[in-house]
Amino acid sequence: MGFGVALLLLSTALPNVLSARHDREQARMDYTYDLTEPPKADDTLVISDVDTTFRDKDVRGRLMEPEGPRAPLPPGVSRFPGPGEMVVSPALRKLLAADGSALLRERLPYRIIGDIGESGLVGSQELAYYAGGSGLAARVDGSQTARLTEFGDPNPTTEEPDPVLVLLNIVVIVALLMPVAVFIAAAVRFGGERRDRRLAALRLVGSDSRMTRRVAAGEALAGALLGLALGTGFFLIGRQVAGSVELMGVSVWPSYLDPSPALAALVAVAVPSAAVLVTLLALRGVVIEPLGVVRAAKPARRRLWWRLLLPVAGLAMLYPMVGQGRDNGDFNQYLVVGGVLLLLVGITALLPWLVETVVGRLGAGGVAWQLAVRRLQLSSGTAARMVNGIAVAVAGAIALQMLFAGVDGQYTQETGQDVRRAQMQVGLPDGVPMAATVQQFADTKGVRKVTALWEGYLGDTSWDTETGPGLSTELTVGDCAALREVAKLPSCANGDLFVLEGAEYSVDGPALNRPGRKLYLESYGRGDVAEVTWTVPAGVGTARSITDPAGSRRGGFLMTPAAMPEDVARTVRGELYLSVDESVPDASDHVRNTAARVDPLADPTNWTATRTSARYDSLRTGLLVGAVCVLLLIGASLLVSQLEQLRERRKLLSALVAFGTRRRTLTMSVLWQTAIPIALGLLLASVVGITLGGVLLRMSDTPVGVDWASVLAMTGTGAGVVLAVTLLSLPPLLRLMRPEGLRTE
Amino acid sequence: MSAPAGSLLAAVDLRKAYGSTLALDGAEFSIHPGEVVAVMGPSGSGKSTLLHCLAGIVPPDSGSITYDGRELATMSDARRSALRRSEFGFVFQFGQLVPELTCVENVALPLRLNGAPRKQAERTALAWLERLEVDDLRGKRPGEVSGGQGQRVAVARSLVTGPRVIFADEPTGALDSLNGERVMELLTEAARSANAAVVLVTHEARVAAYSDREIVVRDGKSRDMERVV
C-alpha cells in the first residue's frame, strides 16, 4: 500500500512538475524573434544558440558576450564566462569527464569555470553549457544570434489548448491512475486469511460478530494509515532519488515534486476510507465462528447484469461527445473522466464473473491442470483480484495506443527531407569559405558525399527599406554536380549561370532575368557591411527546377563558382547536404565536430523523414514513463500476493511433496493458476481497450482502426509482467516445497 | 549394529540436528511387513523427525536407513519421491487434504501422480472411500466435511496405492476420542488386511494400543518396548 500511496502522491505532484519545467524554460528564454534588436548598450548581451547533440543526447549550448557591466546573467549563472571558458550543468560536467566522451570534449574545448545552478536547468540531468564568445555582435540575426536586455519570453502568448491533446491528457492520467487505485484496493486484502484466523481467535474469547467487524475495520484503518505514512516516506525518498535519474530523456529536480495540497489531502482521506470499505465488503462473504473455524460463506453465483451496467454507463457518458472532433470546442472533462473511469472499473467488475464462468466449465486434465482448475473454481475471486490491475492497465494502454496511432498523422509532419539522398545537413553562417570547408567535411570520418550549395536572396531594390524589394528570388551557388541535385541542367561548366523555371514558391526568377539589371543581395545580420549588388549578365541559361534533397523545388538563379563575384561570396550562406555512412561509429558526431571547428555557429542537423509535434511527443513520452512506473508497481503487487498465497499453502505443498508429488507438477499447477486468469484478464482488457479506443477515436473525429500490433504489444507486455512475476516466485515456491515445511505438522 | 533380519524398513544409529538442536541422537528402528509399530514420546522428543527420516522426506545427518534391502541415503531425491509415491502412504495430524479437490479426487491423487487415468483412479478411490465408510462424501470438498470424516478420507488416500508402509503422524491428534478410535480401527484393519506396515507416531497410550510394538523416543534416542499381547 505504501508503494501505491507513493505513486498517488507522485501523480498529485505532476501538475507542479509540468508547470515548474515550463516556468524554468520560460525564465531562460533567449529567443527574441525580433527584427528590431535593441542597440548595443551597457545592459545588453549578445547570445548565440549553439545547441548540439552528442550521440542521442541533446546538449543545450549558448555562446554569450556581454556588452556592458549591466548585461543580464542567465538564470543559474553567477558570472559570465570569458572567451574560451564555460559554465556547465552538473550532468554535462559528468559526461565530459566520462570515458568515451572524447568527441564531445573536442567539440566543447572550453575551460570549465563553474556550474549552472538549479534555477537555470529544467531538469537535474539536463546537459547544458554557457560559453564565452567573441565578435558575436556582427552576427546578430534575430534568430540564432540575438541581442538581449533580459532573459525570459518578451512576448508571452497563451496557446489555445488543442482539445484532442487535452482529451489525450485526461485519458492518460485516468488510465495510469486507475491501476494504482485497483492495486491499493487489492493491497488492502493482502494477508486476509491470516486476519480471518486472528478474528476467529477473538470470537473465541467472546467478541461478537459486530465487534469482530469493528476490529477488522480498525485494523484496515491502522494498516492504511501505516501505508500512508510509509507511502509518504517512500515518496520523500523517491523525490530525492528522482533528482538523480532520467527516464526517456526527462529529468526533474526534487523541488518540482511538491504535491498539490488539495490532491494530497484527497489521497490522505480516500486511501483509509477505501481500505475500511473494501475490508467490510470483503467480510460480507466470510462467517467467522467462535471455534476458530473460518469458512467462506457459500458465495452466491455472480450476476452479470449489474456488472455490465458499469461499462455501459461509461459508454453512455462518452457517447454524447462522439464526432465532436477538435473544431467544436473542449470535451466535457467530467464526462470524459467519468466515462473512462466507469469503463475501466467495469473490467474489475466483469473479470470475477468471467473467471468464475469460464473456470467452472473447464474440464479435468493432468494433475497439474486439475489442481490449478480446482483451485480457481474454489476461489476465482482471489485469482481475478490478482490480475485486475494488469487488466485495467492493459485496457487503458490499448485504448491510448489506438488513440495515439489514430491521431498520429495529425501531429506528425512529413519533413520532405529525402533521407536516401542525404542524412545530415549543415547550415553554415555567411562568409565561410567554400572550397576549404567542403574539403573538411569530405575528409570527415563516415562522410560519403558532400553536396554543397551556397544560398542567398536577391531583390529588385534594396532590402534596407521599410517595405523591402517588390520582386525577390533565391540565389543558389554550387559546382555542376551540386546544382544537378536541384535542377535539370541542359549542360554545365564552371562559369555557367542559369535561371530556374518550375519553382514551387520563389517564382520571380524569370522576371528578374534581364541582362544588365542590378539586383540587391539580402544582408541582414551582417552588421554595418555595405549592401552587395549583382548585375545580371547576358547569356543566362534556363534550367528546370527539380525536388532538391530538402524536399522543395527552388527558384531564382543558379550560379557556378566561377560565375560568382567575390563580394557575393561573402554574402551567401552555405548549406551542406551530407550522405553519411551510418555503419561508421559516431559518424554524426564526427560531422558535428567538423562543423564546430569550421564555425561554432555552424548548425548540423540529422535528417528524419517525419517530425512530430513537441507537445504530442512529450505526452507520449509521459505515457511511457507513467506506464513503466505502473507496470513495476503492479508487478510488485502481483509478486507479493503470489508469495502470500504460496506461504498460506506451505504445509499443504510440503505434504504433497512428502507423498511423492513431483515438484514439476506443483510448479506447473502454480503456472496454470496464474496463466488461466491472466489469459482471461487480457482477453477482457483487449475487448474493453479496443471499445474504449474506438469510442475515443470517434470522439476525436478520426477514422476507427484497430492497431493490432499495439494490441498484441500491450497484451504481450502484460503477459510478460505476469511471466516475470511467476518466474520470480519460483525460487520461493521451490523452497516452500522442502519437506522441512512438515516440521510443524 | 545391522538391521534385524526380515525387517522391511530399518534404521541404525540415526543422527539429525536442526541448527544447534539435536533431534535424533543415535536412534534405532525396525519394522516388519504387516506390523504396526507405535513411536511414542513427549513433544519435541524427535518422533516426527524419526518418521520423516524413515519416510525419506528428510535425510539424516548420519546413520543408515534401509528399505527392502535398499539404502535410502544413497538414493536421489527423485528416486525417494518415486518410492514415497508408490510404496509409502501418509496420514498427517490435520489430514492435509487439498482443499480445492473433492474427497474422491483427493483420494485418487496419489494414483494419478503414478500415471493412472483419471476415471480408473477415481473408481479405485471410491472403493476405498466405501471401505472407510465415507463414500457419501465423494463430491464434497474438505472444507465441507468434519475433522473425523476428513481424517478417514486421508486414511483412504494413504492406502489407495497399496503401499507397503504407512506413516501416520498423530493421525488422531485433532479428533475427539470416539472419532479417533474409529479412525484407528479402520486404519489398522485396512493396513493389516493389505499386509502393510504402519509406523504410527503418537503420544497417546490409547492410540498406541492399536500397535503390535512400541518404541519410545526421548531426547533423540529410541528404546524398543516389546508388548505382550
Look at residue A158 in the predicted model and tell me its pLDDT: 64
Q: Are B158 and B106 contacting, i.e. CB atoms less than 8 angstroms apart?
A: no
For residue range B59-89, what is the model confidence (pLDDT) as tens digits? 889 999 999 888 988 888 788 888 888 889 8
Last residue of a domain, one of A584, A608, A632: A608
CA distance B13 to chain A (A): 21
Q: Please answer yes or no on whether B92 and A655 come within 8 Å at the CB atom.
A: yes
Most confident of A372-381, A586-595, B58-67: A586-595
- List the 287-346 stretch of A: residues with Cβ below 8 A of B: 295-296
- Supply the DSSP symbol for B91: E
Look at residue B228 in the predicted model and tell me its pLDDT: 42
Residues on chain B touching A295 (C-beta within 8 angstroms): 143
Mean of the per-residue pLDDT values of chain A? 85
Q: Please answer yes or no on whether B105 and A377 come within 8 Å at the CB atom.
A: no
CA distance B81 to chain A (A): 4
Q: Please answer yes or no on whether A378 and B141 come within 8 Å at the CB atom.
A: yes
Q: What one-character-per-residue DSSP string does A85-140 give?
A: EEEE-HHHHHHHHSTT-HHHHHH--PEEEEE--GGG-SSTT-EEEEEE-SSGGGG-
**CA A515 remoteness from chain centre:** 56
Q: Are A278 and A185 contacting, i.e. CB atoms less than 8 angstroms apart?
A: yes
Q: State how far the Cα of A37 lies from the Cα of A48, in Å rounded to an integer.
A: 14
CA distance A641 to chain B (A): 19
pLDDT at A627 over 80: no
3-state DSSP of A530-599? CCCEEECCCCCEEEEECCCCCCCCCCCEEECHHHCCHHHHCCCEEEEEEEECCCCCCHHHHHHHHHHHHC
A722 and A670 within one domain: yes
For residue range A417-468, what is the model confidence (pLDDT) as tens digits? 888 888 999 988 877 887 888 999 999 999 999 999 989 899 998 888 778 8
pLDDT band at A68 (very low <50, low <70, confident <90, very high): very high
pLDDT band at A300 (very low <50, low <70, confident <90, very high): low
Residue B228 lies inside a defined structural domain of this protein: no
For residue range B20-58, what is the model confidence (pLDDT) as tens digits? 888 898 889 999 999 999 999 888 888 888 988 998 888
Residue A21 lies inside a defined structural domain of this protein: no
Is A665 within 8 Å of chain B by CB? yes
CA angle A426, A431, A436 (to 5 degrees): 65
Query: A513 vs A473, A485, A490, A494, CA distance in Å?
Result: 10, 22, 18, 20
CA distance B226 to chain A (A): 28
Query: A669 vs A131, A373, A666, A673, A718, CA distance in Å?
Result: 65, 9, 5, 6, 20
Residue B179 lies inside a defined structural domain of this protein: yes
**Mean pLDDT of the region A166-180:** 82
Look at residue B229 in the predicted model and tell me its pLDDT: 40
A518 and A495 within one domain: yes
CA angle A67, A69, A72 (to 5 degrees): 75
CA distance A736 to chain B (A): 14
For residue range A3-51, what is the model confidence (pLDDT) as tens digits? 888 888 887 787 788 788 888 988 998 876 665 678 889 999 999 999 9
Mean of the per-residue pLDDT values of chain B? 86
Name the nearest CA neighbour of B48 among A339, A743, A531.
A743
A392 and A254 within one domain: yes
pLDDT band at A298 (very low <50, low <70, confident <90, very high): low
Q: What one-character-per-residue DSSP string does A676-707 give?
A: HHHHHHHHHHHHHHHHHHHHHHHHTT------
Total count of domains within chain A: 3
Residues on chain A touching B84 (C-beta within 8 angstroms): 658-660
More confident residue, A117 or A36: A117
CA angle A684, A688, A691 (to 5 degrees): 140
Look at residue A365 in the predicted model and tell me its pLDDT: 82
A637 and A575 within one domain: no
- Buried b / exposed e along B98-129 (16+ C-beta atoms within 10 A): bbbbbbbbbbbbbbbbeebebeebbebbbebb
Look at residue B2 in the predicted model and tell me its pLDDT: 64
Amino acid letter, B53: C
Residue B224 exposure: Cα atoms within 13 Å on the Cβ side:
13
pLDDT band at A299 (very low <50, low <70, confident <90, very high): low
CA distance B229 to chain A (A): 31
Q: Are A273 and A281 contacting, i.e. CB atoms less than 8 angstroms apart?
A: no
Q: Please answer yes or no on whether B100 and A740 come within 8 Å at the CB atom.
A: no
Radius of gyration of chain A (CA): 34
Look at residue A518 in the predicted model and tell me its pLDDT: 92
Residue A418 lies inside a defined structural domain of this protein: no
CA distance A652 to chain B (A): 6
Q: E strands along A280-411, which residues? A: 286-288, 294-296
Q: Are A665 and B113 contacting, i.e. CB atoms less than 8 angstroms apart?
A: yes
More confident residue, A577 or B94: A577
Last residue of a domain, one of A559, A584, A608: A608
A535 and A481 within one domain: yes
Choose among B82, B98, B118: nearest Cβ to A660.
B82
Is A651 within 8 Å of chain B by CB? yes
pLDDT at A584 over 80: yes
Q: State how far the Cα of A186 lies from the Cα of A192, in Å rounded to an integer.
A: 10
A135 and A206 within one domain: no
Residue B226 lies inside a defined structural domain of this protein: no
Look at residue A295 in the predicted model and tell me its pLDDT: 47
- Buried b / exposed e along A500-518 (16+ C-beta atoms within 10 A): bbebeebbbbbebbeeeee
Is A377 within 8 Å of chain B by CB? yes
Look at residue A745 in the predicted model and tell me its pLDDT: 42
A407 and A448 within one domain: no
pLDDT at A374 over 80: yes
Q: Are A573 and A427 contacting, i.e. CB atoms less than 8 angstroms apart?
A: yes
Choose among A379, A660, A743: nearest Cβ to B85.
A660
Residue A157 lies inside a defined structural domain of this protein: no
Residues on chain B touching A739 (C-beta within 8 angstroms): 52, 57-58
A516 and A529 within one domain: yes
**Mean pLDDT of the region A167-185:** 81
Q: What domain range is B78 assigned to?
A: 9-221
Last residue of a domain, one of A98, A125, A148: A148
Residue A23 lies inside a defined structural domain of this protein: no
Residues on chain B touching A742 (C-beta within 8 angstroms): 48, 52, 57, 92
Look at residue A523 in the predicted model and tell me its pLDDT: 72
CA distance A367 to chain B (A): 7
> From A739, which residue of chain B is nearest by alpha-carbon distance?
B57
Backbone angles phi, psi at A438, to 5 degrees: -60, -40
For residue range B183-210, what is the model confidence (pLDDT) as tens digits? 888 889 988 888 899 999 988 888 889 9
Q: State how far the Cα of A673 lies from the Cα of A370, in Å rounded to an integer.
A: 10
Q: What is the total residue count of chain A?
A: 745
Total count of domains within chain B: 1
pLDDT at A282 over 80: no
Look at residue B7 in the predicted model and tell me its pLDDT: 85
Name the nearest CA neighbour of A518 among A542, A497, A537, A540.
A537
Choose the mutation target among A291, A659, A662, A734 for the interface with B, i.e. most B CBs under 10 Å. Answer: A659
Q: State how far the Cα of A151 lies from the Cα of A47, in Å rounded to an integer.
A: 11
Residues on chain B touching A299 (C-beta within 8 angstroms): none
A408 and A282 within one domain: yes
Name the nearest CA neighbour of A478 among A421, A426, A419, A438.
A438
Q: Please answer yes or no on whether A374 and B100 come within 8 Å at the CB atom.
A: yes
For residue range A121-141, what is the model confidence (pLDDT) as tens digits? 999 999 999 999 998 888 887
Choose among A660, A665, A745: nearest Cβ to B169.
A745
Residue A22 lies inside a defined structural domain of this protein: no
Residue A11 lies inside a defined structural domain of this protein: no
Look at residue A157 in the predicted model and tell me its pLDDT: 65
**Mean pLDDT of the region A669-694:** 90
Q: What domain range is A356 assigned to?
A: 163-413+613-744
A247 and A386 within one domain: yes
pLDDT at A293 over 50: no
How large is the ipTM?
A: 0.73
Q: State how far the Cα of A84 lies from the Cα of A86, in Å rounded to an integer.
A: 7
For chains A and B, CB pairs below 8 A equal 80
pLDDT band at B114 (very low <50, low <70, confident <90, very high): confident
For residue range B131-186, what is the model confidence (pLDDT) as tens digits? 888 999 999 988 888 888 888 899 899 889 889 999 998 888 777 788 788 888 88
Dihedral sign from CA coordinates of B183, B185, B186, B187: positive
Q: State how far the Cα of A278 lies from the Cα of A195, in Å rounded to an integer.
A: 14
| Total-model pTM | 0.69
Choose among B81, B98, B169: nearest Cβ to A652.
B98
Q: State how far the Cα of A174 lies from the Cα of A555, in Å rounded to an integer.
A: 51
pLDDT band at A739 (very low <50, low <70, confident <90, very high): low
Q: What percent of chain A has pLDDT over 70?
A: 92
Residues on chain A touching B49 (C-beta within 8 angstroms): 743
A130 and A241 within one domain: no
Choose among A374, A379, A658: nearest Cβ to B90.
A658
Q: Please answer yes or no on whether B110 and A659 come within 8 Å at the CB atom.
A: yes
Residue A12 lies inside a defined structural domain of this protein: no
The cell numbers describing B197, all together, are: 506396515
**Mean pLDDT of the region A498-519:** 89
CATH number at residue B61: 3.40.50.300
Residue B154 lies inside a defined structural domain of this protein: yes
Choose the mutation target among B75, B84, B98 for the interface with A, i.e. most A CBs under 10 Å. Answer: B98
Residue A20 lies inside a defined structural domain of this protein: no
Q: Please answer yes or no on whether B99 and A652 come within 8 Å at the CB atom.
A: yes
Residue B163 lies inside a defined structural domain of this protein: yes
More confident residue, B124 or A366: B124
A407 and A555 within one domain: no
Residues on chain B touching A652 (C-beta within 8 angstroms): 96, 98-99
